[in-house]
A and B are shown apart, each in its own frame.
Chain A
Amino acid sequence: MTGSDTSERQAVAADVPTARQLRSRLRQARRRHRTQSVGDLLTDVYMVVLFGVMYGVAFVSNAREYLDSPAAAAADAGERYWIVVAALVAVAGLGWQGLRSVGPLLVVPALQSWAVSSPVDRAAWLRPRFVVLLGGAFGAVGLVGAVSALVDRVGAGVDLVVAVSGAGVVGVAATALAVVAQSSRVGRWWPRLLGVGLAGAGAVLTVGVVVAHFTGGGLVRPSGSVAVGLLAVGLPLAVLTTALAARSLPLVDRAALTTGAQFANAAATAAVMLDPSLLGGLLESRRWRGVGRVRSRRFLAGRRWWVLVQAEVRRLRRHPSAVPAWVALILVQYAVAVAAPALAGSAQVIGAYLATDRLTGGLRSLSRSPGLRRALGGDDARNQLAHVVVPGVGAALWWLATLPVGGPSLGWVAVVMVSGVVVAAYRAGTRPPLDYDTPVAHTPFGVIPVGLMTQMLRGWDVVAVLVVARLLLS
């Protein structure tokens, strides 16, 4: 490149505003049309904090109550400790993959189209978001640390601060590392390996604890504070990864910023509209796009229901996570039976429902698409029943696999429970689009949209009945 080329290239972007100037101009322009006041915003924040504190206090006091009860004493404290560690490692792996799906740095599509696509300095534009993101990560993961410490009855002073800080710096380190991964060019393998590795390590650890439990191998809870260990390891890691991430900010490109934005946008819409299927649709679309191409084969000739069952089996084999999730839930049931045997019966019903629900993709597609139903022809009810065959078999196999750790129950109860789980999964799979024009109930706690809640809890309502029945019949 010649010197004249260089000066010409620089001239292209010579009068470009700074990120601060552009942000300020955009803010001014939008403020002119904005209807939401600062008071409205503070009210929203107050409500979120209020509900957070209410549910947090309730969770801590219930967890403490359970740990003090005779039911909790049935489990070995060392085994329970290691199951919790395994769960946290697995959740960390899933959380890492979640962070990577969202971005974690992102810009909304409008901002991308009209501001970030300009030659404005990318790092300067992203820096305030990066700082807020790290602050949010410290707060969110620190809160988990605080709740864990309170449940574990640590002191309210320095110990609590150490617990919050230990968890918080780990959250900061993970988030900063996710930003480094976001700036990586295509082909880097380590971000995916880290997520899969953590989830896998959690599963292996769980298997180890379960095997130790059934073979009589004793596990002891290590002495020393976990929070201090987290702080000692997490703090230097957080400093290092934050420095690396700050240096990576200029390399976060449009593809990385907008992919996460689509996900975040769908999640926000799903939350506002109280309809998880809005997010599920995007996830489903991305999942199948990742598969790309499959080997198509002819169906074995037969009646309509037989062909539909074959199609359902084929979809299941191609689904990258349905069967692994189904298997993972079996492991979760064994872990619950070891760590909290008193809850094993209820957990088995909930686990069976979640595992069966993973197998109802065909039923959901059919129920949400009038066009698909028209194209298939035949009787709707029969077509839906054909899509219940695979979930039904899946539910029965899952129950059989967890029979040794489901708690005491009579034989006919198992049949009733499996049938109930299939009915619950059927109800969830055939949930129609949400109708927002529904009756509300005026209560001392405010207006409750009863009709909306009934629709949202479709499927879970049957599970709740089954859990109560299981408790009464055990």
Chain B
Amino acid sequence: MEALAVQGLSRSFGSLVVLDEVSFTVGVGRIAVVTGPNGSGKTTLLRCVVGADRPDAGEVLVDGRRAYETDAWVRAYVAAALDDIDFFPDLSVVEHLELLAHAHGGSADPVPEVLTELGLDRARDQLPATLSSGQRRRLALASCFVRPRRLLVLDEPEQRLDVRGRAWLADRLRAERDAGTAVLIASHDADLVDAVTDDRIELGA
């Protein structure tokens, strides 16, 4: 069963072709890792998959159905942490997560556990302006875990995480896979890639 299918996806900026008819699938309970050198289009690919950018050609299918970001079902299905996340300056860490859990029709019950898991317990009442870049990254990741999801899309999730954080991330991704979530990540971290990859998607090769 395919949670995600990308077919003939192309994206250009002016005359620069960044993605040229990229096709791949990610099965349910599988981890697919997008690798490639800088500028090979990893982030652009992920942005097109989650609907943050519009491809020039090709299509994205989620659970066999054409995925449009305007479809509420797709937004419920796909959890994503890309580099474009932003925060309300006047809401605390815990308030951000509770708001998101509520917006997805859930309760705030998983929030304390996710905060603990990501080491954000002590920062729960801090406003975003006081967070370090690593803590902001953890909060972005936490936003994916306080809500239901079938497909998890992460762009270089290891960025700004310390050694313990990276070890936790590998464990967490494996747990997601075991729970039946399909995972699509872009990464430059060879250790993380080796530890979690089921399928590799090479760009710019």
Q: Does chain B have a CB within 8 A of A45? A: no
In chain B between 98 and 149, which residues have their CB closer than 8 angstroms to a CB of chain A?
99-100, 102-106, 127, 143, 147-148
Bound state CA distance, A186 and B68, in angstroms? 12
A473 within 8 Å of B (CB atoms) = no
Interface segment among B29-37, B80-88, B187-195, B196-204: the answer is B80-88
Decide if B76 touches A119 in the complex (CB within 8 Å).
yes
Nearest-CB residue, chain B, relative to A33: B90
User: Is B95's CB within 8 Å of the partner chain A?
Assistant: yes
Bound Cα distance A390, B115 (Å): 58
> Bound complex: CA of A110 vs CA of B127, how far in Å?
13
A30 touches B90 (CB 8 A): yes
A118 x B14 contact (CB < 8 A): no
**Are B51 and A16 touching (Cβ within 8 A)?**
no
Q: Which residues of A contact B147 (CB under 8 A)?
A: 118
**Minimum CB distance partner of A251 in chain B:** B70
A60 to nearest B CB, angstroms? Answer: 41
Kindly state whether residue B75 has any CB partner on chain A within 8 Å. yes
Let me know if B24 is at the binding interface, CB within 8 A.
Answer: no
Contacting residues, chain A, for B106 (C-beta < 8 A): 15
Assembly CA distance A117 to B56 (angstroms)? 22
* CB pair B51 A119 closer than 8 Å: no
Asked whether A293 lies within 8 Å of B15 as measured between CB atoms, the reply is yes
Q: Is the CB of A258 within 8 A of B100?
A: no
Q: Which residues of A contact B96 (CB under 8 A)?
A: 114
Say which residue of A10, A12, A118, A290 sits within 8 Å of B103 (CB atoms): A118
Min C-beta distance of A268 to chain B, whole Å: 14
Instruction: Name the distance in Å between A351's Cβ and chain B's nearest Cβ.
Output: 30
**Is the Cβ of A255 less than 8 Å from the Cβ of B53?**
yes
Given contacts A13-B105, A30-B91, A253-B51, contact A292 B72 (CB under 8 A): no
**Does B23 make an interface contact (CB < 8 A)?**
no
Q: Which residues of B contact A119 (CB under 8 A)?
A: 72-73, 75-76, 103-105
Shortest Cβ gap from B142 to chain A (Å): 12
How many of chain A's residues have a CB under 8 angstroms from any CB in B?
44
| Contact indicator B65/A289 (Cβ below 8 Å) | no
* In the complex, chain A residues whose CB is within 8 Å of the CB of B75: 117-119
Instruction: Find out whether the CB atom of A255 lies under 8 angstroms from the CB atom of B69.
Output: yes
- Asked whether A380 is an interface residue with its Cβ less than 8 Å from the other chain, the reply is no
Q: Is B55 an interface residue (CB 8 A)?
A: yes
> How many angstroms between the C-alpha atoms of A12 and B77 in the bound complex?
8
Chain B residues lying within 8 Å of A251, measured Cβ to Cβ, are: 70
CB distance from A41 to the nearest CB of B (A): 15
Chain A, range 87-128, C-beta contacts under 8 Å to B: 108-110, 112-115, 117-122
Q: Residues of A contacting B51 with CB < 8 Å?
A: 253-255
CB contact list, A16-57 vs B, under 8 A: 16-17, 22, 25-26, 29-30, 33-34
Residue of B nearest to A187 (CB): B56
Closest 7 CB pairs of A and B: A292-B14, A15-B105, A292-B16, A109-B86, A118-B103, A119-B72, A16-B105
20 pairs across A/B with beta carbons < 8 Å?
A: A1-B64, A12-B73, A13-B73, A13-B105, A14-B105, A15-B106, A29-B91, A30-B88, A113-B84, A114-B88, A115-B99, A118-B103, A119-B103, A120-B103, A250-B70, A253-B51, A253-B68, A253-B69, A258-B84, A293-B15
